[in-house]
Structure 1
């Protein structure tokens, strides 16, 4: 099976690249959950965040670079089917947040009744 993210990185599949670093790109997802939602994708194919810590590290650094420009954001990734991973090429979601945006995550204090 072909990897869509490898195809995007290779320039063989369409995507709107909004930022790039030597080994990482940031693109707009097809179905953003908030305005400004981006996917941060390493050039190197690794299945998930646990496969190659060095790749995960420089991919996270790129995501952190993007969030530095935001007032509030979530950075989200998944590892494995049980964690709802559907694309098996490491990618991080940078999700800008705003007070009252109504995007609830499953572990938010409003849903579980506690906070850290």
Structure 2
């Protein structure tokens, strides 16, 4: 897909730190991690969001789940559309390791969690 940074990374045309690969999915370190260990898990194939291709999204989620299984506490997040905070139009799942006092406040976080 033209002008898609994640497609450029998948094709090797843009730099990224790739930390793990699966047959249809890979995980990278984002440019601006919001917690230590924050990763993005995304399909090689361009799909605009997690709702476009449910089977490919399921494979991406399964890969994210493998990464989360290695952590004591974590969130897996994805967004669809600008109103839901999607900033890159290529499906991706955030794996967010969590630690007490990490400063990442989610809308449903209790006040004592940050």
Q: Report the TM-score range of the alignment, normalised by the length of the smaller protein.
A: over 0.9
Map of 2:58 onto structure 1: 57
Any runs of at least 4 consecutive aligned residues in structure 1 with deviations exceeding 6 A, and if so which? none
> Taking structure 1 as the reference length, what is the TM-score of the superposition?
0.91
Please state whether the residue corresponding to 2:51 is helix, strand or coil: coil
Map of 1:114 onto structure 2: none
Map of 1:46 onto structure 2: 47
> Taking structure 2 as the reference length, what is the TM-score of the superposition?
0.93
Give the drift of 1:47.
0.5
Please state whether the residue corresponding to 2:62 is helix, strand or coil: helix
Structure 2 portions without partners, runs of 5+: none
Q: In structure 2, how many angstroms separate the alpha carbons of the residues matched to 1:50 and 1:69?
A: 26
Please state whether the residue corresponding to 1:22 is helix, strand or coil: coil
CA RMSD in angstroms comes to 1.2
How many residues are treated as equivalent by the alignment?
111
Give the drift of 1:86.
1.2
Structure 1 portions without partners, runs of 5+: 112-116
Instruction: Please state if 1:101 is matched with 2:105.
Output: no
Give the drift of 1:106.
1.1
Q: In structure 1, how many angstroms separate the alpha carbons of the residues matched to 2:3 and 2:102?
A: 35
Q: In structure 1, how many angstroms separate the alpha carbons of the residues matched to 2:33 and 2:77?
A: 13
Map of 1:20 onto structure 2: 21
Please state whether the residue corresponding to 2:19 is helix, strand or coil: strand
